Amino acid sequence: MTNLDEIIKSRRDTRHFTNDEVPDAVIEKALQAGHWAPSVGLTEATRYYLIKSAEIKKAVKELFLEYDKKAAACTDDELQKVQYQKLKLEAIEEAPLGLVICYDRSVLNNFTIGTVGSNEAIKFSAVCAAQNIWLSLTEQGYSMGWVSILNYYQFKEILGLPEHIEPLGYFCVGKPATNYDNQPMLQQLNWKQKSETPFVSEITELHSGTEKQIENHNIHPVATDSFLKSLQQKIDQKTKPIGSLGVLEKIAKQVATVFKTLEPKINQPHIVVFAADHGIAQHGVSAYPQDVTRQMLTNFLEGGAAINVFCKQNKIALSIVDAGVNYDFPSNTELITAKIDKGTHSFLNGPAMTEMQMNLCFSKGSEIVAAIAKQGGNCIGFGEMGIGNTATASVLMSVICNFSIEDCVGRGTGVDDEKLQFKIDILRKAVENYKGENDLESYLAYFGGFEILQMAGGMLEAYQQNMIFLVDGFICSVAFLVAFKKNPAIMNNAIFSHQSAEKAHKKLLDYLGVSAVLQLDLRLGEGTGCALVFPIIESAVAFLNEMASFESAGVSEK
């Protein structure tokens, strides 16, 4: 078989193999074809692992079968369920050779042409290599079958692959036992018919490419004087000295005023943790490497972080958002995907993001909160995770509030004195290098972080949905600062959960003219302060709704 069109047309995703061994010369030629595939920036990030061990094949087969059950249950179409049972979706043990095609994520630690616009380019290169291998095997009378129904985390564990090596899947290699009547197997078994020609459409009109930025001009009706008077009277008539419940009375009044009822109720409380990576981290402003962002998200998803513990303790729903982490998470995780890009660019010598990306952040954050409100939630807390985000937050605070960078920079993840001074110097230089306009939008696009701006968009939407929202520590307060500059009315719905140990937080709270409920020397992030303050909010609501009045209890007011 030598005609290229014929080879391409006859390539099949093969699931039935003979027992014939694959000669070394055949696989060597095919892998060389993969090596000749396009490689973005000549990164040569594609890696190949051969599997001949029956024990390993058996383990991979068991992993496939576990996920295949979940896949089979995904359709409600009874006919499709029957068709699914007829499909042979793998040949892991039958195929004489297994091939795992991977890409090496560690190449991204160095500047590489072609990965700046999209770090996924190294993954695309590996896919190109897989296609070349497939075509070479077809030309030689052999074929492959791509098995992707796997838990990739467990798959990597079985194979002993290091963290930075990411598999595309498991490929079965051998001599095909059938030609499937010269048509794709899924088509042969009536699963779906392949179209005769590709979809092609010419784009003739120029589009701006920008998402509509969230607008927050809707101001909720102000509580009437008569309502406020009745509310204050209800609080004062409880069986206690006036004002003796201190901050609880303030919280009760705020919650009742937002919900405009003398009997408020917190429904379906929810904390959302937004995570992203920051280009400024590559300059060493954090005590931890950037990859910790990805590692911590995995920890969140597995339920092992502080925020998981506190949410479980206080019966608060928890969602994790990938706002822009430098990693391709498997699609079968319980992650909300709102990825703008794989981390911002460093703002030391240029903008962190484009204007389009900035607007998209606000839209994504808004959509996430709107979905929670639609499900009936009326109280939401905001948390964050991202190595380098205290540096980003510090610069945003500095330029927006017109404070010196020294007043806005803290230890973040716990840098020592020498590293702190280094961090200050780097961020001062970044601010000095800025030559843009002195307005909020310009600042946000140049210095912003994806998770910070998504939180700001979420806070604006929480106000629109008339929700009480909880602000965590320093970084979340900077997100609030951004949202507040866009719509000052959101202050009515915000509760500042705690004053963190990050030194700039107190200065920012004073600038906003607010006080935090708790002071526990926290500097963890993750929304932990929101989870810890929630029982206090519940107590404020409980006393307003359930505590006896002087009249009902028959107690003298004097």
Would you please indicate which residues are annotated as catalytic (active-site) residues? 526
- Provide DSSP, 314-382: TT-EEEEEEEE-SS---TTSSEEE---SSSPPPSSSS-SS-HHHHHHHHHHHHHHHHHHHHTT--EEEE
541: amino acid identity, one letter: V
Cα atoms found within 13 Å of the Cα of residue 276, Cβ hemisphere only: 32
**122-152 burial by CB neighbour count: b if 16+ within 10 A, else e?**
bbebbebbbebbbbbbbbbebbbbbbebbbb
Three-class secondary structure of residue 310 per DSSP? helix
Cα atoms found within 13 Å of the Cα of residue 410, Cβ hemisphere only: 20
| 260 token code pair | 């405009």
User: Closest by alpha carbon to 306, among 498, 522, 470?
Assistant: 522
Cβ–Cβ under 8 Å, residues 339 and 320: no
State how far the Cα of 99 lies from the Cα of 493, in Å rounded to an integer: 55
CA 450 to chain centre: 10
Cβ–Cβ under 8 Å, residues 296 and 249: no
Task: Point out which residues pair with 307 in neighbouring strands.
Answer: none
Cβ–Cβ under 8 Å, residues 39 and 113: no
Cβ–Cβ under 8 Å, residues 283 and 348: yes
Cβ-proximal residues to 91 (8 Å cutoff; 6+ apart), any chain: 14, 15, 16, 17, 145, 172, 174
**What pairing do the DSSP bridges indicate for beta strands 46-51 and 97-104?**
antiparallel
| 458 token code pair | 């979420």
211 exposed, middle or buried (CB, 10 Å; 0-12, 13-18, 19+)? middle
